[in-house]
Chains A and B, each alone.
Chain A
């Protein structure tokens, strides 16, 4: 271990823990998921960076959106995202979640993912190389250090707008709002 970081570990153990043990939810959206098996197995071995895949969203704190997002997939993504415990980080992987990519004029693909859930970082490319995931992860470390990876806080603050955007595309959502939509008045 780097001795210079020992002080940091004592100061902010929680943050350092989150930073070096990212559990990625193994959720397959679109074609980018084909890059993930070599990344997590021996060829590129993501555990060097502390990233491991987990089975359920309840255990995860890193969400990779790997490819185009159709309307049905968006619903599953929102459900999965809301199930994950805080703190949680979202990375958009590939061109399609950024601005639609090659599906920019499709009738069934939402173009900008960050209108519906907060996204902390993007990895551009079609397809990005597996090394790009590691570059993304190291950038995410920097963001966590500087407390700039605050998408989950933003989701709580602006939940009203996110929910309105989601309902505009998906129609009435059948589950209860995650956070209260109306701001409570202070009790005097």
Chain B
């Protein structure tokens, strides 16, 4: 299957999807957040059976998070095997909620837990959004752009006094 053919097919099935082809056989799809599950299951049925990554971008000036799904294929017989599909959905920063893709891709669980911990995005349908990496609790999730990491480390780690000073 050709890339352009695949793109046409996606456009025919799903309206208001903005797609473009980038370098090295990459297809970028900008979708609404309600559409994500449908498009992902459509792509999975079309041979893109491997979810390589879920990641998150904080666009603080636009007041939005962008959730990025990267799909590849294990099929080896045609052009699809060399294609990456990059699917982007924007969600609001005030109420960051999106449907979990666990029913389609099981390996999404840990990516979603990581994003929940570091960005505070809630994935509806994932029941194991428990702490993964961090030991301490932070008021603002630490990967958000408005978390001032320099000030935090200054206020917190420098407030622990050396033992020699504490005796005085």
A residues less than 8 Å from B166 (CB atoms): 161, 164
User: Which of A17-25, A43-51, A106-114 lines the interface with chain B?
Assistant: A106-114
- The docked-state distance in angstroms from the alpha carbon of A170 to that of B154 is 17
Q: Is the CB of B161 within 8 A of A115?
A: yes
A104: interface (CB < 8 Å): yes
- The docked-state distance in angstroms from the alpha carbon of A169 to that of B158 is 11
- Would you list which residues of chain B between 96 and 147 have a CB under 8 Å from chain A? 134-136, 138, 142, 147
Partner of B142, one of A71, A107, A164: A107
Tell me how far the C-beta of B15 lies from the nearest C-beta in chain A, rounded to whole angstroms. 43
- The docked-state distance in angstroms from the alpha carbon of A169 to that of B134 is 13
- The docked-state distance in angstroms from the alpha carbon of A99 to that of B98 is 41
Name the residue on A nearest B138 (C-beta).
A107
A residues less than 8 Å from B161 (CB atoms): 115, 165
Q: Is the CB of A72 within 8 A of B135?
A: yes
Name the residue on B nearest A112 (C-beta).
B162
Interface SS of B by simple majority: loop
Chain B interface size band reads: 10 to 19
B residues less than 8 Å from A164 (CB atoms): 166
Tell me how far the C-beta of B151 lies from the nearest C-beta in chain A, rounded to whole angstroms. 9
B167: interface (CB < 8 Å): yes
- The docked-state distance in angstroms from the alpha carbon of A114 to that of B135 is 20
Q: Is the CB of A161 within 8 A of B160?
A: no
B150: interface (CB < 8 Å): yes
Q: Given A110-B157, A111-B157, do A105 and B150 touch, yes or no (CB 8 Å)? A: yes
Tell me how far the C-beta of A92 lies from the nearest C-beta in chain B, rounded to whole angstroms. 14
Q: Given A106-B153, A107-B153, do A114 and B162 touch, yes or no (CB 8 Å)? A: yes
A27: interface (CB < 8 Å): no
Chain A interface size band reads: 20 to 34
Q: Is the CB of A71 within 8 A of B135?
A: yes
Tell me how far the C-beta of A76 lies from the nearest C-beta in chain B, rounded to whole angstroms. 11
Partner of A161, one of B150, B157, B167: B167
Tell me how far the C-beta of A94 lies from the nearest C-beta in chain B, rounded to whole angstroms. 18
Tell me how far the C-beta of B138 lies from the nearest C-beta in chain A, rounded to whole angstroms. 7
Q: Is the CB of B167 within 8 A of A115?
A: no
Tell me how far the C-beta of A15 lies from the nearest C-beta in chain B, rounded to whole angstroms. 26
Q: Is the CB of B149 within 8 A of A161?
A: no
Q: Given A110-B157, A170-B135, do A105 and B149 touch, yes or no (CB 8 Å)? A: yes
A59: interface (CB < 8 Å): no
8 closest residue pairs by CB, A with B: A105-B150, A71-B135, A107-B149, A161-B163, A161-B166, A107-B142, A111-B157, A72-B135
Can you give 7 A-B contacts (C-beta < 8 A)?
A71-B135, A72-B135, A75-B135, A106-B149, A111-B157, A154-B163, A165-B161
